Amino acid sequence: MHLRGVVLPGDEVRDLWIDDGQLTFEPVDGAETLVTEGFLVPGLVDAHCHPAIGVHGPSTVDEAIAQAMQDRDAGTLLIRDCGQPIDTRALQDRADLPRMIRCGRHLALPKRYIPGLGIDLGSPDELPDAVAEQAADGDGWVKLVGDWIDRSTGDLAPLWPDDALAEAVKVAHAAGVRVTAHVFGEDALPGLINAGIDCLEHGTGLSPELLAEMARRGTALVPTLINIENFPGIAEKATKYPVYAAHMRALHAGVRDMIASALSAGVAIYAGSDAGGMIAHGRLVDEIEALWRAGMSRTEALAAGSWSAREWLGHPSLTEGAPADLLVFDSDPREDLSVLRDPRHILLGGAVFR
Ligand SMILES: [Zn+2]
């Protein structure tokens, strides 16, 4: 197959060929031309997406496949799953589903996360061994639950003591695996960041000081802004826990300032929809637009859900020999992000899905 168009993130019109599912800039004899103009964008990346979680909780493999297709049809061609309740290797065997970096199971403690999703450890001391196990089972990432409501105190609280976190991150890094954590509040953050964690999910409690420290360390942030929109609803339902409810409302109210501080500190931010549970699958473009509204330029917001995220996750963009995972648009999404909602073509591994 042959395509001609502006190859993002650059501005140059180039000719691309697809040979055996891979991109090449060398002409391929007898190639059929798919497009002669347009904008060629590396497949979108949802850095926080749970194909095996649906609105009712853990999914079956068949439901997970349907959810991954919904993500694909909205342009997501690479997923970092950020924790899955079931084994999703069956999805990775299918050429028609987005590529997926599995993080294994969420690591939590009893009554300290959404029931049925993660592994509840018997005690915080078990964290390093559990991380080693998930590191061996996953595709280069491990997901921790960093904080959650503690019903005995009625507020968000960290799950892990600092020394268990430091040891857990050390174990993962020794295995060549990166670690990320779910975190909403403030108190869990210093322990996670100082342990050398690689990424934080949500991060609504981050202060300018901690964001500066993240920038210094190269700790990434996946804020999942469209899911943070659910905080007031979560607060409303938490009638038994007024302190927690007020805390969630305050974190929600502060998210714009947090993102502004993260951007001015130079923290690397990536797009993650948190699809599964409270967010429907196929909404990554909403998150990219939310990042733009929160202060990124359109190009930065697109990069955060495409080529920058690919680089961060170790997947190529539109380079020689890369898998032909790309989107074709009639106009430049860097000028108008809503263009992303209507790709002319979606190609995954060189196969045309639209
Ligand atoms: Zn999540």
Q: How far is the centre of ligand 1, averaged over its atoms, from the C-alpha of 273 (Å)?
A: 8
Q: How far is the centre of ligand 1, averaged over its atoms, from the C-alpha of 352 (Å)?
A: 29
Q: What share of the chain is helix, strand, coil (3-state, %, to 5)?
A: 35, 25, 40
Contact in structure between 75 and 346 (CB atoms under 8 Å): yes
How does 163-179 read in b/e, with b if 16+ C-beta sit within 10 Å?
A: ebbbbbbebbeeeebbb
Q: How far is the centre of ligand 1, averaged over its atoms, from the C-alpha of 353 (Å)?
A: 27
Q: How far is the centre of ligand 1, averaged over its atoms, from the C-alpha of 106 (Å)?
A: 9
Assess whether pLDDT exceeds 90 at residue 172: yes
Q: How far is the centre of ligand 1, averaged over its atoms, from the C-alpha of 6 (Å)?
A: 34
Q: What is the mean pLDDT of residues 289-313?
A: 98
Q: How far is the centre of ligand 1, averaged over its atoms, from the C-alpha of 85 (Å)?
A: 11
Assess whether pLDDT exceeds 90 at residue 41: yes
Q: How far is the centre of ligand 1, averaged over its atoms, from the C-alpha of 142 (Å)?
A: 13
> Residues 294, 300, 305, 311: is their CA dihedral positive or negative?
negative
Q: How far is the centre of ligand 1, averaged over its atoms, from the C-alpha of 50 (Å)?
A: 7
Task: Locate 27 and state its tokens.
Answer: 């002409």
Assess whether pLDDT exceeds 90 at residue 129: yes
Helix (H) or strand (E) holding 292: helix 284-293
CB atoms inside a 10 Å sphere around CB 114: 17
Residues measured by CB to lie within 5 Å of ligand 1, the ion: 82, 274
Integer Rg of the chain from CA:
20
Q: How many residues does the chain have?
A: 354
Task: Locate 330 and state its tokens.
Answer: 């009639």
Q: How far is the centre of ligand 1, averaged over its atoms, from the C-alpha of 48 (Å)?
A: 6
> Residues 62, 68, 73, 77: is their CA dihedral positive or negative?
negative
Give CA angle at 45 (39, 51), nearest 5°.
135
Q: How far apart are CA 17 and CA 30, in angstroms?
A: 11
Q: How far apart are CA 110 and CA 152, in angstroms?
A: 13
Q: Is 144 helix (H, G, I), strand (E, B) or coil?
A: strand
Q: How far is the centre of ligand 1, averaged over its atoms, from the C-alpha of 42 (Å)?
A: 24
Contact in structure between 143 and 104 (CB atoms under 8 Å): yes
Q: How far apart are CA 49 and CA 309, in angstroms?
A: 14
Assess whether pLDDT exceeds 90 at residue 57: no
Q: What is the mean pLDDT of residues 132-156?
A: 97
Assess whether pLDDT exceeds 90 at residue 56: no
Q: How far is the centre of ligand 1, averaged over its atoms, from the C-alpha of 322 (Å)?
A: 28
User: pLDDT at position 274, please?
Assistant: 97
Q: How far is the centre of ligand 1, averaged over its atoms, from the C-alpha of 276 (Å)?
A: 7
Beta carbons within 8 Å of 164's beta carbon, 6+ residues apart = 124, 125, 127, 128
* Residue reference for tokens 């976190």: 165
Q: What is the mean pLDDT of the chain?
A: 97
Burial of 338 (0-12, 13-18, 19+ CB in 10 A): exposed
Q: How far is the centre of ligand 1, averaged over its atoms, from the C-alpha of 246 (Å)?
A: 22
User: pLDDT at position 67, please?
Assistant: 96
Q: What is the mean pLDDT of residues 14-23?
A: 98
Pairing of strands 147-150, 155-158: antiparallel
Q: How far is the centre of ligand 1, averaged over its atoms, from the C-alpha of 25 (Å)?
A: 38
Q: What is the mean pLDDT of residues 113-137?
A: 96
Q: How far is the centre of ligand 1, averaged over its atoms, from the C-alpha of 310 (Å)?
A: 19
Q: How far is the centre of ligand 1, averaged over its atoms, from the C-alpha of 82 (Å)?
A: 6
Contact in structure between 131 and 167 (CB atoms under 8 Å): no
Q: How far apart are CA 255 and CA 28, in angstroms?
A: 49
Contact in structure between 287 and 305 (CB atoms under 8 Å): yes
Confidence at 54, pLDDT banded by 50, 70, 90: confident
Contact in structure between 169 and 160 (CB atoms under 8 Å): no
Q: How far is the centre of ligand 1, averaged over its atoms, from the C-alpha of 49 (Å)?
A: 6
Q: What is the mean pLDDT of residues 144-158?
A: 98
Amino acid letter at 274?
Answer: D
Q: How far is the centre of ligand 1, averaged over its atoms, from the C-alpha of 2 (Å)?
A: 38
User: pLDDT at position 76, please?
Assistant: 98
Contact in structure between 273 and 226 (CB atoms under 8 Å): yes
Confidence at 251, pLDDT banded by 50, 70, 90: very high
Q: How far out from the chain centre does Cα 132 lie? A: 22
Q: How far apart are CA 309 and CA 272, in angstroms?
A: 10
User: pLDDT at position 277, please?
Assistant: 86
User: pLDDT at position 181, please?
Assistant: 98
Q: How far is the centre of ligand 1, averaged over its atoms, from the C-alpha of 51 (Å)?
A: 10
Which residue from 6, 3, 11 is spatially nearest to 35, judged by alpha carbons?
Answer: 3
CB atoms inside a 10 Å sphere around CB 303: 26
pTM summary value: 0.98
pLDDT digits (tens, 9 = 90+) for 203-243: 999 999 999 999 999 999 999 999 999 999 999 999 999 99
Q: How far apart are CA 349 and CA 308, in angstroms?
A: 20
Assess whether pLDDT exceeds 90 at residue 295: yes
Percent of the chain with pLDDT over 70: 100
Task: Locate 87 and state its tokens.
Answer: 């084994």
Q: How far is the centre of ligand 1, averaged over its atoms, from the C-alpha of 83 (Å)?
A: 7
Q: How far is the centre of ligand 1, averaged over its atoms, from the C-alpha of 84 (Å)?
A: 9
Q: How far is the centre of ligand 1, averaged over its atoms, from the C-alpha of 65 (Å)?
A: 18
pLDDT digits (tens, 9 = 90+) for 339-351: 999 999 999 999 9
Q: How far apart are CA 2 and CA 23, in angstroms?
A: 10
